[in-house]
Chains A and B, each alone.
Chain A
Amino acid sequence: MKPITWQHALGALGLGLLVWGSAQALLVAPPDRHMGDVSRIISIHVPCAWVGLLVYTIAMVLAVGSLWSGRSRWDAALTAAIETGLVLTALMLLTGMLFARPTWGVWWTWDVRLTTTLLAFVLFAGVLTMRSFLEEPRRRATWTAVATIIAWVDVPLVYFCVRWMRSIHQVQSSPDTIDAAIYWPMRINAFAVLFLALWFIVLRTRVERLREEVDEVAPPAPVVTAA
């Protein structure tokens, strides 16, 4: 048996907080005055959004490190961060839709934050897709890092752009007033999701590193360097 390492402590902490926060949100908090039970989903929707964007930012920092150092360790962590970010934004979009349907009667609204997150999802999914076409490890690392930086810089631009577009087109916007009862569960879940995300990134990085080691010992096929 391996001793419990700090990484798993991260996971345990995240899971514990998630259980606590969700219990608060689902069982303790009273239903929202206007939206009823549906509003409880905010307690996980918003943390996914926050941490998702944070994880993309971590990915950007890792991308700069990867370009600067040229070491594969950064690349493994960078990929792990993008994957985790994609999972979180996918969850954010999904819970957003589940919230939108009963609240506004539509699955999708062109809300500023939803739209920006959707764009971030598509942007970073594109980065991973491109990555899957690259075989030579060093080039793959460089190009992933470059594409990550480019995609990350776009997110605030998209945000401003959608906000201006919406401000001219007045349609309904999402309620900014969140019931105080759901406020604390949401904060707890935010930390829970953060710890879980970090745990995923660390684990995923390790898996990637192990795969690299395996490839070194038994290469899948001789990689011919393209001229």
Chain B
Amino acid sequence: MLLAGANGSGKTTLLRLIAGLLRPSAGSLRVFGLDPVAEPLAVRRRLSVVGHQPFLYGELSARETLALWNRLLERPWPAATIPELLEAVGLEDAASREVRTFSAGMRKRLSLARVRLERPRLLLLDEPFAALDQDGQDLVDRWISEFRDDGGAVVMASHDLSRASGHGARAVLLRSGQAVWTGAARDLGERLRMPN
């Protein structure tokens, strides 16, 4: 599922609602048949978020960050997973550096590695391509495809339609918090070229 729309149209808000980080001011929503407000733990067990913010501690190294996250999980991975994961996101040389010295792109890569730890079934991506270089964007492309092939669901908000529309079967166009158009993702580009 691809969320499109101008800045401030409500993409991030919708993602935060799904994640249970916001409570709907009216109405309700169901994620995996559960109310994210009433049963946050059950919903969060199944989803992961890559947002604008990297959810990191500046004074921890990349390796420590992943180790911390891993130990907080209900089913932690064996310790050997972490170097593998760092290598997969191209951070193996920066593994011992504190995150505060990282560029925005490197932080995004670390967030991606974190998400891999969490074994989500639903992935919420807010501008996943932003701040990443060509190689990083290709990595995200590849991971999303793999994730969907494994049966995971993706809800993604992105401005990079050429990349993003390859991943969504469906797309929603938001304007001022309203869904103004729903259709196949491949038609979205055409829809956006139309005046309103």
Contacts and interface: CB of A to CB of B under 8 A. Distances in A.
B13 A227 contact: no
A225 B25 CA distance: 13
Nearest to B126: A227
A225 B13 contact: yes
A138 B53 CA distance: 22
B22 A225 contact: yes
Interface in A212-227: 225, 227
B52 interface: yes
B105 interface: no
Chain A contact residues, majority secondary structure = loop
Chain B contact residues, majority secondary structure = loop
B23 interface: yes
Interface string A183-227: 000000000000000000000000000000000000000000101
Interface in A58-81: 70
B51 interface: yes
Interface string A6-39: 0000000000000000000000000000000000
Interface in A138-159: 138
Contacts of A225: 13, 16, 22
A227 B15 CA distance: 12
A227 B22 contact: no
A70 B16 CA distance: 18
B23 A227 contact: no
Contacts of A138: 23, 25
The number of chain B residues touching the other chain, given as a range, is under 10
A8 B16 CA distance: 45
Interface in B12-29: 12-13, 16, 22-23, 25
Interface string B1-38: 00000000000110010000011010000000000000
A227 B12 CA distance: 10
A70 B23 contact: yes
Nearest to B13: A225
Nearest to A70: B23
Contacts of B22: 225
A41 B22 CA distance: 52
A227 B16 CA distance: 9
Contacts of B51: 227
A227 B53 CA distance: 8
A225 B51 CA distance: 15
A204 to B, nearest CB: 24
10 contacts: A70-B23, A138-B23, A138-B25, A225-B13, A225-B16, A225-B22, A227-B12, A227-B51, A227-B52, A227-B53
Given A138-B23, A225-B22, A227-B52, 7 more contacts: A70-B23, A138-B25, A225-B13, A225-B16, A227-B12, A227-B51, A227-B53
